[in-house]
Amino acid sequence: MSDTSTREQRRVVSLDELLTRVNELRERIEILDTTLNTYLSHYRELQLAVETIKNLSEKSVEGYVILDRLSSLMIPANISENWYNNILVNLGLGYYVKLNKDKAVEILTKRIQELEKTINSVQAQRRTLTEEYAGLQRVLSQVIESQQARQQSG
């Protein structure tokens, strides 16, 4: 067995390379945070849609419909008797399909499951980058402390 395989290999990098990598990692973590927040928002919206449709009475109902995500404005609405057989589900690219309640819940549940996988993947990527970032931050701190100690003794 070679000596290098049993020991940790060392690589010398300049302070500029180290700082460049730290900045790159910080930017990538910020991008992943934005991406993760977007996916989590979609995830919560889908969960809300599924729970709402599951709990909505199958009888004719009069009520109000919220027009925006902040609940700033509501208008009166009548939900017809046979609504549960006339649900439109967004397929993407401006296409919708008319389905019954059970099929709509099934499609949305599959989307939620796919989003969960994507969210888990992004979170794993973020953890990996964050661990590297923290390690490099520790190295930078040691370099700074070493430089300060040299300046004080010199």
Which value, to the nearest 10 degrees, does the dihedral of the CA atoms of residues 38, 36, 26, 142 take?
Answer: 150
Tell me what pLDDT residue 50 has: 96
How many domains is the chain partitioned into structurally?
Answer: 1
Domain range for residue 54?
Answer: 14-146
Report if residue 9 sits inside a domain.
no
For position 153, what pLDDT does the model report?
82
- Tally Cβ neighbours within 10 Å of residue 87: 19
pLDDT of residue 154: 63
What is the structure's pLDDT at 2? 52
CA 134 to CA 132: how far, in whole Å?
5
Examine residue 19 and state whether it is found in any structural domain, yes or no.
Answer: yes
Q: Calculate Rg over the CA atoms of the chain.
A: 27
Nearest alpha-carbon partner for 105 in 113, 117, 95 = 113
Chunk the chain into consecutive blocks of 10 residues (it has 154) and report each block's average pLDDT, rounded to whole numbers: 57 86 97 98 96 90 87 91 93 94 97 98 98 94 88 79
Angle at 139 between CA 135 and CA 142, to 5 degrees: 140
Q: What is the CATH number of the domain that holds 73?
A: 1.10.287.370
Q: What is the pLDDT of residue 144?
A: 86
For position 42, what pLDDT does the model report?
A: 96
119 vs 143: CA distance, rounded Å: 36
Inside any domain, residue 152: no
